[in-house]
Structure formats: C-alpha cells, structure tokens
Amino acid sequence: FLPISETSEDGGQLAKDQLGNPIPAGQLLALAPGSRALVAGLEGEPTYLTVTEDGSLDRMGIVDNCTHLGCTFPWNPTDQQFQCPCHGSLYDSRGQVVRGPAPLPLKLTRVEVKEGAIWLYPWTELDPRTGQRPWWS
C-alpha cells in the first residue's frame, strides 16, 4: 500500500475538500458546465474551480480572498459575479474587479488534472486577464 502523495516534486498540491480529503477530478467534472466548486487550495487558501463549457476544469483557479481586506465571499451564479459582503466589491467570472474598493483582480492558481487527481500550482506566468506579471508573485 502506497499512500497518495499530496504534494508533487514540482510544487503542486492536491485540491482538497473541507475535511482535508483530496477531491477526485471526476467529482467536479460530473457537475454541469459553468459550475464552480470551492476547494481548499495552495496553503489551504479557499479557491474556486470552474467546470468549463467543454466539460473540463478551467486552468485558472480563482482564490477566494478579497484584494481589499481579505474577506472571503460566495460566487453568485445569478449575477455571475463574486460579491464581497464586507465592503461591496464585485468581481466578474474571471476575478476582475467590476466595482471597488478592491484594488486588484483576484489571485490565480494554476489547475491541472492528472490521473484523475486535481493538482494546484502557484500561478507564475503572465496574468491572462491583464497581460501583466501577476501582482502576487
């Protein structure tokens, strides 16, 4: 018996549920396209994963941590926004600020599905939403 390693040599960590158990990719891929699931991500950061229209997992995981003062917040599927309850910041479906006071887009995590597991990595490449270097690295 070999336990599944929860970190990889290249800096990846398995996405986990609220009990700390790794989430099989199939569990999220069974959701309807456009669905989002909140998982425990890198260093336990709450992170939203998205099922894309083609039924795969979006490679952009969105960290659920307001860039104003760090509140966490729900995804609102009706408005298609992340809505921070603390001071009213709004973010679009990709984590871009729609309304402040949040000063920056939500942090990203890179998502990869390998052998049925969901691996998360620090996002170090250009931020595809801004074309700039990520503000968090």
Where along the sequence are the contacts to ligand FES (CB under 6 A)? Answer: 66, 68-69, 71, 84, 86-89, 101-102
- Contact by Cβ (8 Å): 27, 6: no
Q: How far apart are CA 31 and CA 27, in angstroms?
A: 7
Residue found under tokens 């052998």: 115
Q: Of 22 and 64, which has the nearer Cβ to ligand FES?
A: 64
User: 81-83 and 90-91: which strand pairing?
Assistant: antiparallel
Q: Of 121 and 136, which has the nearer Cβ to ligand FES?
A: 136
Q: Of 98 and 126, which has the nearer Cβ to ligand FES?
A: 98
Min CB(82)–ligand FES separation in Å: 10
Min CB(101)–ligand FES separation in Å: 6
Min CB(40)–ligand FES separation in Å: 20
Q: How far apart are CA 103 and CA 16, in angstroms?
A: 29
